[in-house]
Amino acid sequence: SHEKFDAIVVGAGPSGNAAALTMAKAGLKVLQIERGEYPGSKNVQGAILYADALEKLIPDFRDDAPLERHIIEQRMWVLDDNSFVGSHYRSDDYNKPPYNRYTIIRAQFDKWFSSKVREAGALVICETTVEELLMDGDRCVGVRCDRIGGEVHADVVVLADGVNSLLARKAGFHGEIQARNVALAVKEILFMPEEVIQQRFNVKEEEGVVIEMVGTVTEGMVGTGFLYTNKDSLTIGVGCLLSDFKGNEKRTTPYALLDKLKKHPSIAPMLEGGEMKEYAAHLIPEGGLRAVPQLYGNGWLIVGDSAGFVNAVHREGSNLAMTSGRLAGETVAAAKAAGKAMNAATLAAYKAALDASFVMKDLKKYKHLPEVLERSPHFFDTYPALVNRAAKTYFTVDGVDKSTKQREILGSFKAARRVTGLFGDAFKLWRAMR
Ligand code: FAD
């Protein structure tokens, strides 16, 4: 094809769909290219959808989006090998529409999202891989694909090709992805009747629960586990920094951790009878601000996971993806309307918009966290074990007086980390989270 487009979007995940939708709605001639059989085909698993970011793109999404359950309860669990200490937050306010968070199955959701992009007028082509960006000096002028006649030209290319963006690296926009900046996560989907989920999680139809977990299951590696309730399935998964898997002396695999998590005595009963349909492994960008590359240049923009936009602390990714995609789309549409060239000077407005949004503000807030966590494995191992041991000591009634129990608990903390270590850890955590 020798057609020229206003914009080409590479990838049809949440960030690419947000960018393509925004530009198509503004009347631009948009081509979106996705390598999967259909948008979401590589994304079979459950996830949390944050309504706010989608509402800004599709205000009435609740009318027909494939949503599983809205979240009414958030649980945070600290695990040791056979117990957990947890906090639960449940509110009836989360049961009043419009709901704030939902579980979704990405394969269905991405497909639906893509249908909106098509309706807005973008040309969406699947089963096509973009192999490289066409460069004219330092200006990106289009893409080369493995199909549709090879080369396609556009005024601007939006890179929404996900974590590990090979295209940006090939073009020299950023360097090799570092193992300490990505988590390797595995997750499974387990099917069971709706009523069973409702009973086990103490919820009604369409109500859902999220469990976020940290603890000895990751064997001291920086990582977390999670469990989401879908309509008639559960998503369970665990992820740790790739650098930790690589450096792990025991050579533990992600699947071994997931297996251990599923067998945990506090978790196994919730999964019982669940029929495993599929599992998937995927990388998550978790380097935070330090891993964010150059975000724009002459004729190109980077959005979503390929820009490293994930808030690992709050388990947010898709909302940063959608927001960055929307802001990129708005930047391009405004430039087009003003008749400006799609050069770095014009596209700098995208970075300014990101800086003013929660995307960069949150990444900046947690900028010290990755380095603090990677140098403090005891947050993922020693402390979870201590906290659980303390709870056991405290709640076991065995004729030992309470003051003695308190001394025992304090003693176990001091023995494990010494007083200086305890204060040091508290300070580091405060610095990283403030
Ligand atoms: P992606 O969704 O990865 O989409 C990229 C698309 O580009 C893919 O469809 C891919 O096929 C396509 N593509 C790649 N290269 C090419 C190419 N060369 N040519 C053509 N197409 C290409 N976020 C949340 O908000 N909530 C959650 O609960 C949550 N849970 C998660 C659990 C796990 C285990 C993982 C791994 C991630 C989770 N995330 C979650 C993060 C979230 O999935 C991502 O942040 C989000 O999908 C990023 O969207 P994206 O569009 O940038 O990238």
Ranges in the chain, pLDDT < 70 = 1-2, 44, 148
Specify the pLDDT at position 403.
96
CATH code for residues 180-285: 3.30.9.90
**DSSP output for 126-141:** -S--EEEEEEETTEEE
428 Cβ below 6 A of ligand 1? no
Atom of ligand 1 nearest to the CA of 163: 3
Task: Classify the complex by whether its ipTM is higher than 0.95, answering yes or no.
Answer: yes
Render pLDDT for 213-257 as a digit per residue (tens, 0 to 9).
999 999 999 999 999 999 999 999 999 999 999 988 888 999 999
On whether the CB atoms of residues 415 and 421 are closer than 8 A, the answer is: no
Specify the pLDDT at position 341.
97
Nearest to 285, CA basis, from 236, 333, 320: 320
Encode 351-382: b = buried (16+ Cβ within 10 Å), e = exposed: bebbeeebbbebbebbebbbebbeebeebbbb
What Cα–Cα distance (Å) separates residue 84 from each residue in 213, 384, 388, 412? Answer: 9, 8, 6, 18
Atom of ligand 1 nearest to the CA of 128: 20
Strand ranges for 230-294 from DSSP E: 233-241, 275-285
Specify the pLDDT at position 44.
65
Residues 45, 420: Cα–Cα separation, whole Å: 43
11 Cβ below 6 A of ligand 1? yes
Instruction: Give the Cβ contact number of residue 172 at 10 Å.
Output: 11
Say how many Å lie between the CA of residue 15 and the centre of ligand 1. 8
Q: Which of 8, 9, 15 to mutate to test the pocket of ligand 1 (most atoms within 8 A of CB)?
A: 15
**DSSP output for 372-421:** HHHT-GGGGTHHHHHHHHHHHHHH--SS--HHHHHHHHHHHHHHHHHHHH
Containing 213, the helix (H) or strand (E) segment is: strand 207-215
285 Cβ below 6 A of ligand 1? no
DSSP single-letter state for residue 310:
-
Residues 86, 77: Cα–Cα separation, whole Å: 4
SS3 238: strand
Homologous superfamily of domain range 4-69+99-175+291-366: FAD/NAD(P)-binding domain (3.50.50.60)
158 Cβ below 6 A of ligand 1? no
